[in-house]
Amino acid sequence: MSLSIYVAVVVVSLMVSSVKSQFALLSVSGDDQVEIYHNGRYEGGTGRWNETKQILIKAEEGDVIGVVVTDLGGGYGAIAELDFNGVNCITKVNSGSWRAQNISGALPALWLRKSFNMRARSWSKPTSSNLTPSRPGIGFPYWTGAEYVWATGAGVRDKILLRLEVSKGCTI
């Protein structure tokens, strides 16, 4: 009796432009606690300032990535990068596609919906935090040029929201 082994190799491309949904890699780190949402669904988070959460998500243009970052004292900041369709959507001080807002209390209703109007609700470009990439979350891809950011008017022991609407051409 002979034993035959057959090996099948399947190659899958994650960057096929003819497919509406594509896989995207999201990397997020924050000081101190992070919650990550994709189109309103909780995807995971971190509980320590030096952790990075990386998530492979099936995304398409118009999807919403939401991040809640809570500072428990001391340093504060959030850094994020979404690699979508070969473009890195990164957090940058006073620029980029990510938007930030300082919050207190409950999360704003509907902020993770595609139809949510950020302009009408005082969302702004992120401001600087008091952290630098010299204090990294373990495993964060710093070569992308992402920067630690925070929200206007927020400081120590505050909570902020970061929001990104996924697109092929994230602004930097």
Q: What is the pLDDT of residue 4?
A: 40
Q: What is the pLDDT of residue 21?
A: 75
CATH top class, domain 22-165? mainly beta
Give 36-50 pLDDT, tens digit per residue.
999 999 999 999 888
The answer to whether 42 and 35 have CB atoms below 8 angstroms apart is: yes
Give 134-159 pLDDT, tens digit per residue.
666 788 888 888 999 999 888 878 89
SS3 labels along 47-90 = CCCCEEEEEEEEECCCCEEEEEEECCCCCCEEEEEEEECCEEEE
Q: Residue 121: helix, strand or coil by DSSP?
A: helix
Q: Which residues lie across from 73 on neighbouring strands?
A: none
The answer to whether 98 and 124 have CB atoms below 8 angstroms apart is: no
What are the boundaries of each domain within the chain?
22-165
CA distance 4 to 93: 59
The answer to whether 127 and 93 have CB atoms below 8 angstroms apart is: yes
Per the structure block, which two tokens stand in for 53? 């959460």
Q: How much is the pTM?
A: 0.82
Mean pLDDT, the chain, integer: 81
Give 103-121 pLDDT, tens digit per residue.
887 888 788 888 887 665 6
**pLDDT over threshold 70, residue 13:** no
Q: What is the pLDDT of residue 17?
A: 35
